[in-house]
Amino acid sequence: MVDWQLTAFLVLSVLEIGASIMVVTSKKLVHAAFWLAMTLVTIGGIYLVLLSEFVFLIQILVYAGAVPVLFVFGIMLTRRKIMEEVTVPEEGAEALPGPGEESRP
Amino acid sequence: MSGHLVSPNLFELTRILMDGILRILSDAIKALAPVGSPVEPLRGLGDAILTPWLVDLLSWLVAITIMVTWVAAILLLTFMWIERKTYSRLQDRYGIMLSVWSLPFWPFSWLARRRHKPTHKGLGWLQNVADGVKLVQKENITPAKADSAMFHTAPVLIASSTVLIFAALPFSEGFVIADVPLSLLFILAAFSLAPLGILIAGWSSNNKYSLIGGMRAAAQLMAYEIPLLLAVIAIIFYSGTLNVIGIVKGQEVPLAYLGPIAIPAWNILSIPQFLGFVVFFVAIIAEMERIPFDIPEAEAELVEGWVTEYSGMRFGLVFGFKWLRAIAGSALVVILYFGGWSGPVWVTLTPTVGATVIPIPIVPHEVWFLLKVFVVFLVFVWISWSVPRVRIDQILNIGWKRLIPLSLLALILAALFVLFAPLPGGIR
């Protein structure tokens, strides 16, 4: 007989540890924030395995829905280069300033 | 009281049906493989498909399929149809009003206004199916510098978290997948997962309009979640339960009698909850990204906001999810403030067949609930196609400076009213 609770716990733990390693190793900060969301959701899953539904739902509501979004906001509002720039050389015309270029000294 | 059609609940109903089908199938297998024939080992299969856990599993799958088909096909198409018809009436858009050609056969063609013209047949309900078919045929284009994995994950995340709402959202006491004790919290948690997916979609498209739209959407959705939840907490003070069905049961009692007519104790008929209703209504419009608050996809300035780069059926997913959220939002307004599925006709015929009493609902609960949901959605449509769009700073000001104090006031008033419960004159 398979112990489903233990299996679910192990799967969730592996996912959580993998995601948390990705948080600290990924090169792009936005990716790190979204891996953080995955970590928080899997922690919520572990709460559900421990039969505490209320903590699970609050975890999803607060930590999965709001905290990573706040992180991403912080990243997007502070870092200048958050998108891949596609530069198309235009003939005979001065290239228009890209996003954020006006504030460049 | 009128009864509900799906009784006792969706799962039990599908289980009875499934059990019958599997019994017939099992008997058919046993009849085709009699004892002594070369295919006798097949009799084991006939017994195996009657295993209880297999029947349970199949019934769950069928129940979920019924719910998803009901919500994501029938209700979604109906809501889109209502919206398109109503705004074309409101804004006098001639095309959608008349020349939507579909269902060119009897009851629909008879109901159509200009039924003598071949292009004016039908009600236009299937126009959205035609749009969906068109979207499926289109190519799915990924932008060159987009973050491909996240770009393709975002629609799945958004759509699945939205469908997740309907795992706990009831359409009557029985027409629900899972009646969990904390279903209201579950619905709100599933509702609040969208900003993450929207932000992923906006960022990974690698397009400044998408990015601005995604950030606006996330800021708006997160800002309006707070007054939404505070208004819901005021409801919980009154009902004392986080179960949606329990909240509706609390509103089914009569509040006062006008002669023989009973006024139900709907939450909107109490002073603090009316404040909460105003907050909830405005906040849910913002959560649906409907027009006074649709600055995330303001098409005059941001192309289409965070859905700009999506094409083909992915665009259909992220576009149709708004109507799914509209269904959930209208249903939540009805459940929390307008007494859910309790109707004004308090009659059930109960003939006795053998020894069992079978209630016959005159107008079933599902019909009352759908009627109320459609009326609330019509009000949403009416508001969104009559008022102009407000700026992003105005949206955030309304959310943080007006709605949150108002919802806190509703919360404090509700707490006081519950504390000093029997107020003179039955004021609640």
Q: How far is CA B370 from CA B385, B413, B419, in A?
A: 22, 31, 35
Check B181 against A37: CB less than 8 A apart.
no
B211 touches chain A (CB under 8 A): yes
Contact between B215 and A30 under an 8 Å Cβ cutoff? The reply is no
Contacts of A70 in chain B (CB under 8 A): 222
Nearest to B149 by CA among B75, B212, B204: B204
Structure confidence at residue A14 (pLDDT): 93
Residues B24-51 have a mean pLDDT of 82
pLDDT, tens digit, 9 for 90 and up, residues B265-322: 788 888 888 889 999 999 999 888 887 888 777 777 777 778 888 888 888 888 888 8
Task: Report which DSSP code applies to B426.
Answer: G
Phi, psi of B313, deg, nearest 5: -75, -20
Rg (CA), chain B: 25
Check A57 against B182: CB less than 8 A apart.
yes
The rounded distance, in Å, linking the Cα atoms of B104 and B87 is 23
The rounded distance, in Å, linking the Cα atoms of B325 and B302 is 22
Structure confidence at residue B103 (pLDDT): 47
| Inside any domain, residue A85 | no
The rounded distance, in Å, linking the Cα atoms of B81 and B76 is 8
Tell me: cis bond preceding B181? Omega within 30 of 0 counts: no
The rounded distance, in Å, linking the Cα atoms of B207 and B103 is 40
| Inside any domain, residue B105 | no
State the nearest Cα–Cα gap between B306 and chain A, in angstroms. Answer: 14
Strand-pair category, B348-349 with B254-258: unpaired
Nearest to B65 by CA among B103, B22, B17, B135: B17
Provide the residue range defining the domain that includes A8: 4-78
Domain count, chain B: 1
Provide the residue range defining the domain that includes B337: 149-426
Check A68 against B196: CB less than 8 A apart.
yes
Mean pLDDT of chain B: 81
Nearest CA in chain A to B229: A61
CA dihedral of A76, A77, A83, A89, whole degrees rounded to 10: 170
Residue B426, pLDDT > 60, answer no
Structure confidence at residue B100 (pLDDT): 44
For A61, the closest of B192, B203, B208 (CB atoms) is: B192
| Inside any domain, residue B72 | no
The domain that holds A71 is classified in CATH as: 1.20.120.1200
Structure confidence at residue B386 (pLDDT): 87
| Inside any domain, residue B66 | no
| Inside any domain, residue B259 | yes
The rounded distance, in Å, linking the Cα atoms of A30 and B204 is 10
Contact between A23 and A60 under an 8 Å Cβ cutoff? The reply is no
For B208, the closest of A57, A70, A99 (CB atoms) is: A99
pLDDT, tens digit, 9 for 90 and up, residues B364-413: 788 888 889 999 999 999 898 888 888 888 888 888 888 999 999 999 98
The rounded distance, in Å, linking the Cα atoms of A80 and A29 is 12
Beta bridge partners of B356: B353
Nearest CA in chain B to A60: B189
pLDDT, tens digit, 9 for 90 and up, residues A77-105: 776 565 555 566 555 555 555 454 444 44
Task: Choose the mutation target among B196, B244, B302 for the interface with A, i.e. most A CBs under 10 Å.
Answer: B196
| Inside any domain, residue B108 | no
| Inside any domain, residue B303 | yes
Check B182 against A68: CB less than 8 A apart.
no
| Inside any domain, residue B53 | no
State the nearest Cα–Cα gap between A92 and chain B, in angstroms. Answer: 25
The rounded distance, in Å, linking the Cα atoms of B195 and B71 is 22
The rounded distance, in Å, linking the Cα atoms of B100 and B123 is 7
pTM: 0.82
Structure confidence at residue B349 (pLDDT): 56
